[in-house]
Amino acid sequence: MSRVYDALRRAEQAGAAFTSAAPVAAVSANAAVLEPGLKLEGLLEQVQEVPFRGTTPSLMVDLSRPHDPPMEEFRTLRTRLNHMQTLQPIHSVVITSPSPAEGKSLSAINLALAQSHLAGNATLLADFDFRRPIIHTMFGIDRSPGITDYLMGKAALPQIIKKIAGTTLYVMPAGEAVINPLELLNLVEVKTLLGHLPKVFNWIILDSPPLLFAADANLLSTLCHGTLLVVRIGHTTIDSVTRAMQSLCNNNVIGTIVNGARRGELYSKYTYYHSYYYAGQPASKSKAPAVTEPAEDEPAQ
């Protein structure tokens, strides 16, 4: 914890200088320095590339099967966000939920994968859920070095970013466990980091703890351009959604992801179209497998 307290003291000493400086958006990318000797220019060339080692592919969208209904849903979400980006400067989005087990982490992962499917669309998936991180496990990479290591001065920025081979997706794991995550999130370095990363990445997607169980997501929402709230059918209550929205004060909430639809409901929109036209060819000439309607009580993955 001594490193955390040292970092907090440094943040307090630098606080006055930070508040009196020019706004982050006004600083040019060539002059932006996150730490002594490190410039954002050339950052992506310094990070390590790792193979795609998804450990639970049944829960993650398959980029090689773009017409699968789950992938279609996240492509729709991607399209709406990208259109919104043309209307206002939105580059960083916090993904959170009212309570645990509502699918926020998987929603963040799948949205990032969908965004990275576009050529030249550099996307950063950052695990800011320091309490129960899962992104490093889903991609089969080490948890540390990660964000907490960077904030405590144990690792440089290029060391905590991993590029997923064959995609434009970059992953920033949570880092080593800390006793009080909220102390780290209150460091001025977090605000500086999130303010400068849009100069390198078109989208920064943050996974954060549930709103009603920690204040982390509330703080992160004030530092990012938008917040997406994940709710789960049959699990999330109206009361918890109300309290979650009140905790955010409706601040920059740009939408809601409804998770947990039954497969029968999800597939019904695509069955006819993709059974007749598969990969742009009529079904009679294609080699596509027959479409089988799943059981109504089988949950969507």
Q: Kind and range of the H or E element at 254?
A: strand 253-259
Residue 290 is predicted with a pLDDT of 35
pLDDT per position as a tens digit, 96-145: 999 898 889 999 999 999 998 888 899 999 999 999 999 999 999 999 99
Helix-helix angle 2-20:188-196, to 10 degrees: 60
Given pLDDT bands bounded at 50, 70 and 90, which one contains residue 178?
very high
Q: Where are the domains of the chain?
A: 2-260
pLDDT per position as a tens digit, 205-223: 999 999 999 899 999 999 9
Distance CA 57, CA 168 (A): 19
Phi, psi dihedrals of residue 58, rounded to the nearest 5°: -65, -20
Distance CA 268, CA 265 (A): 6
Distance CA 81, CA 86 (A): 9
**SS3 for 203?**
strand
Residue 263 is predicted with a pLDDT of 56
Using an 8 Å Cβ cutoff, are 98 and 212 in contact? yes
Residue 273 is predicted with a pLDDT of 44
Residue 4 is predicted with a pLDDT of 40
Residue 126 is predicted with a pLDDT of 97
As a whole number of Å, the CA-based R_g of the chain is 20
**Which is nearest to 189 in space by CA: 27, 2, 1, 9?**
9
Distance CA 205, CA 234 (A): 26
Structure-model confidence comparison of residues 10 and 256, the more confident one: 256
Q: Kind and range of the H or E element at 149?
A: helix 147-151
Asked if residue 271 has pLDDT above 60, the reply is no
Asked if residue 300 has pLDDT above 90, the reply is no
Using an 8 Å Cβ cutoff, are 94 and 226 in contact? yes
Percent of all residues in the chain with a pLDDT value above 90, rounded to a whole number = 45
Q: Which CATH architecture has domain 2-260?
A: 3-Layer(aba) Sandwich (3.40)
- Lowest-confidence pick of 54-68, 150-164, 228-242: 54-68
Asked if residue 301 has pLDDT above 80, the reply is no
Structure-model confidence comparison of residues 248 and 193, the more confident one: 193
